[in-house]
Amino acid sequence: MSSLRPVRGTAEEILGLLREWDAADDAVPLVIATSGSTGTPKRVVLSRDAMRASALATHERLGGPGQWVLSLPPTFVAGVQVLYRSVVAGTEPVVTTDVVGARGRLRGRSYLSLVPTQLIRHLRDLHDASAEEIEAIAEFDAVLVGGGPLNPVVRSEAERQGIRVVQTYGMSETCGGCVYDGRPLDGLEVSLDGNGEVLLGGPMLFDGYEGEPDRTAAALCEGWFHTNDLGRLKPDGSLQVLGRVDDVIISGGVKVPASAVAAMISAAEDALGVEVLGTPDHEWGERVVAVVATDNVISLAHVRSLVEPREWAPRQLVVVDQIPLLANGKPDRVALRRMVLDA
């Protein structure tokens, strides 16, 4: 048996692999590729102990094992975990993009995992749906939404429809979602360093990056995983993720948190998506650019009026039909930057 086991194939093939892997006496670590949303994908090494700790903690937090619907790509960590949670629970996952139609194939507790764009599209579909179709999604015991920021307006609309949303935070290096609605899963430790970077520790952590000892050493230091995400701990102890460390744009000497600006625009606009990034500018050093996917007519002046403090306001607006996405549903940052430069 090889020292590592790459995850690839169809959902059915990966499910079979995971069943065999979970039952093996000598289960070698899995290798799961990241999405490469900001460049070259990494190959993350995950042990069975870490994957099992994540699956068990997830079921404990959600109220017990159940049947999962897989509507995500099966080779990325979110999809792999849906399949592995099913293996641990001893249930049969339903693999389909027809989430409403899947309800008739589920028995007992049931769970669904989505990225924010999928939730937005489901909500738009539900506006024209029958009451039975709305109830079908609302019948899930939990709808996990992760892989990126969730617009509070979108969450409120989903909950108004009776959908039980759980906002998750995590990554391949933590075997998927490890913080649910700001609260770490049992066994996970959360801390912040002096710069506000989120540090994670506990049994869900990865073993390293395949073939990259230097990158592994930089990411895993003294038992803590350095996430490259900025965050803050609220007075009640819950974690609020503010965005990527490298998402801070230095424009005219002002530090502009791109994720916070995108959240302000998203909260006021009926948009399929909002992304904010910095591009080189001879005057400002970096120019703050908002990319907005919307069916509405929208102006730069209007977008700027939504942002406080005004020093953070975008200086360029790019309107698109939809935000370019990777296979796992995350924004394609490389394609976004290309679109901005072309504009």
Can you give the CATH number for the domain in which 95 is found? 3.40.50.12780
Residue 154: the pLDDT is 85
**168 and 264 share one domain:** no
Going by C-alpha positions, the residue among 55, 77, 70 that lies closest to residue 113 is: 70
The CB density around residue 300, as the number of other CB atoms within 10 Å, is 15
**283 and 179 share one domain:** no
The residue range of the domain holding 29 is 5-241
What the block records as the tokens of 73 is 């790509």
Residue 281 lies in a domain: yes
Q: Are 107 and 44 in contact (CB under 8 A)?
A: no
Considering the chain, what is the average pLDDT of its residues? 90
**207 and 164 share one domain:** yes
**17 and 157 share one domain:** yes
pLDDT 10s digits, 142-171: 999 998 888 888 899 899 999 999 999 999
pLDDT 10s digits, 67-82: 999 999 999 999 999 9
Residue 292 lies in a domain: yes
Judged by average pLDDT, the poorest of 168-172, 266-270, 306-310 is 266-270
Judged by average pLDDT, the poorest of 18-27, 37-46, 111-120, 185-194 is 37-46
Task: Write the CATH number for 259.
Answer: 3.30.300.30
Phi, psi of 63, deg, nearest 5: 110, 10
Q: CA geometry: angle at 136 spanning 135 and 138, to 5°?
A: 60
**62 and 207 share one domain:** yes
Biggest CA–CA distance in the chain, Å, is: 62
Residue 284 lies in a domain: yes
**Integer angstrom CA distances of residue 84 from 23, 34, 41, 145:** 12, 17, 22, 18
**132 and 225 share one domain:** yes
Q: What is the mean pLDDT of residues 208-212?
A: 95
Phi, psi of 56, deg, nearest 5: -65, -40
Residue 334: the pLDDT is 86
pLDDT 10s digits, 88-125: 999 999 999 888 888 889 999 999 999 888 888 888 77
Residue 247 lies in a domain: no
**Integer angstrom CA distances of residue 130 from 100, 101, 120, 136, 264:** 11, 13, 17, 10, 32
pLDDT 10s digits, 118-138: 888 888 777 666 677 778 889
**Integer angstrom CA distances of residue 288 from 224, 232, 278, 304, 312:** 32, 23, 5, 11, 8
The CB density around residue 91, as the number of other CB atoms within 10 Å, is 19
pTM to 2 decimal places: 0.82
Judged by average pLDDT, the poorest of 1-10, 50-59, 252-261, 271-280 is 1-10
Phi, psi of 81, deg, nearest 5: -70, -35
Q: What is the mean pLDDT of residues 5-27?
A: 94
Q: CA geometry: angle at 195 spanning 190 and 199, to 5°?
A: 20
Task: Label residue 37 by pLDDT band (50, 70, 90).
Answer: low
Residue 236 lies in a domain: yes
Judged by average pLDDT, the poorest of 243-247, 272-276, 285-289 is 243-247
Residue that is last in its domain, among 241, 266, 296: 241
Burial of 316 (0-12, 13-18, 19+ CB in 10 A): middle
Residue 177: the pLDDT is 97
Number of folded domains that form the chain: 2
Q: Percentage of the chain with pLDDT > 70?
A: 96
Q: What is the mean pLDDT of residues 316-335?
A: 87
